[in-house]
Structure 1
Amino acid sequence: MRKIQVQGVHHITIVGSTRQSALDFWEGLLGMPFIFEQPNLGKPDENHLYFDPGDGRLLTVFTNESRTDAGRPAPRKVGCVEHLAFNVSHATFTQVPARLKERGIEFLERDRGFMNSIYLQDPNGMKVELACYKFETPEGFRAADVLMRAYQIRLERGDHHIADEHLADAIEDLLATRDRATH
């Protein structure tokens, strides 16, 4: 059987509470430009808000003015989304803790070996991650290329998780393959 080949994320849709709650969080806190809104054509009692998460694709939110913010952690069960992760620059990442503290928003900061992460919750308890890779992707490669090579190096060395040395060595290897291909 042949595969259906996807080419990236088209959009992500979440169930929100009110229009203003969605605007305040996605645009007001996270800076995602509000693109447009229209009725949810599949469920007439809902509105459908569209935001740009920074790469020109879409994050959409179903809203209904009769709902209120859940104000509790979203369920973490089989079949549920654990979290949504969004890329931020290193410069922005360093400013996130202070900006969240200014707004009284609780968060967790974690070192993930190959990236740094800050976790917070939207008004409905969905976990949102702000992530920043610890490396710059070399010209002509994708972040996934660096991570795949770093993973291979990590496995070859029997290490527990990807760390800075694996990333640096992966980038060196990728650049060497590019240099050999151009000579």
Structure 2
Amino acid sequence: MVAVPADGGGHPVGARAARRGLRVERQPARRPDRRRAGPGVPGGRRAGHARALLRLPLAHDADRRAHRLPRRRAAGRARRPERRGPPGGSRGRRRGVPVPAACLQAPLRRPRVQGLTDPAPRRMQLTGLHHVTLICADLERTSAFYRDLLGLALVRETTNDDDPDARHFWFGDADGSPGTLVSFLEYPQLDEGHVGRGSTHHLALAVDSVEELGAWRDYLRHHGHDCTDVMDRGGFHSLYLRDPDGHILEIASRTH
């Protein structure tokens, strides 16, 4: 109980306070907390029980005997003799049938690569380019450029083996040697090509020396064909120009 005066002051309860005219108010009695404390809750009946701490590592050592946890082997206790299988170990038997252990281990061998580790002579060998085939719109105009201007020989005039309606011209050296051949298929109805993946960037033709490139530059410009200056490309020198259909041509020296 708490004595509360009329003006709001507080004094202890007793006979003296009652004689002074203090009003006494009773506080509601506290009900006992009947909630049962569970395992691990301080103050609960089962808080100190070892089962509440079984998940803690220290509880295993403290309560090992109470819960029959496995003990360490006594120092003086002899170990049971180990069983020994047949000679060669368990790998030497398979379903009761003796198998040599060496047969169960496959030898580690590298796969043989044809042409790299085989001492036998190779029967296949790429020796270089045979020819390059391009598409043009007018074979007469193409012939005037590659034969009359650049000096290549018109080796063969034929039709496309896969499309007999399309003409097919071959240019190269006088003998038509593989590696010097450039052929053209005539398709005037096709659209102009676009640079992209799968397209060809340029075609390079060879000359013997760097000094000859200067002569080619002057010759092409004299006949009205634009070309670049002679450029150092690292291992060789070259210049660039375009043919009538827009193909990029490079004239490169064989030596630096």
* Interval of TM-score (by shorter of Structure 1 and Structure 2): 0.5 to 0.7
Larger Cα-atom Rg: 2
Structure 1: gaps spanning 5 or more residues: 136-183
Alignment partner of 1:78 out of 180, 190, 197: 197
* Equivalent position SS for 1:108: coil
Instruction: Using structure 2 for the length normalisation, give the TM-score.
Output: 0.46
Amino acid at match of 2:170: Y
Structure 2: gaps spanning 5 or more residues: 1-112, 116-123
Other-structure match for 2:184: 61
Higher relative contact order, structure no. (Cα contacts within 8 Å, ≥ 6 residues apart): 1
Separation in 2, partners of 1:2, 1:80: 33
Separation in 1, partners of 2:207, 2:173: 10
Other-structure match for 1:113: 234
> C-alpha deviations, 1:94-145, integer Å up to 9, x for none?
211111111211111321122111100011111000001334xxxxxxxxxx
Aligned length: 131
Q: Which has the higher helix share?
A: 1
Alignment partner of 2:207 out of 66, 77, 88: 88
Matched, 1:24 2:141: no
Separation in 1, partners of 2:137, 2:156: 17
Instruction: Using structure 1 for the length normalisation, give the TM-score.
Output: 0.63
RMSD: 2.5
C-alpha spacing 1:40/1:13, structure 2 compared with 1 (3 Å): same
Equivalent residues in 2 for 1:1-183, closer than 5 Å: 5-53=125-173, 56-57=177-178, 58-64=181-187, 66=188, 75-90=194-209, 91-109=211-229, 110-135=231-256
* Equivalent position SS for 1:101: helix
After superposing on structure 2, the runs of 4+ consecutive aligned residues of structure 1 that deviate more than 4 Å are 1-4, 66-70
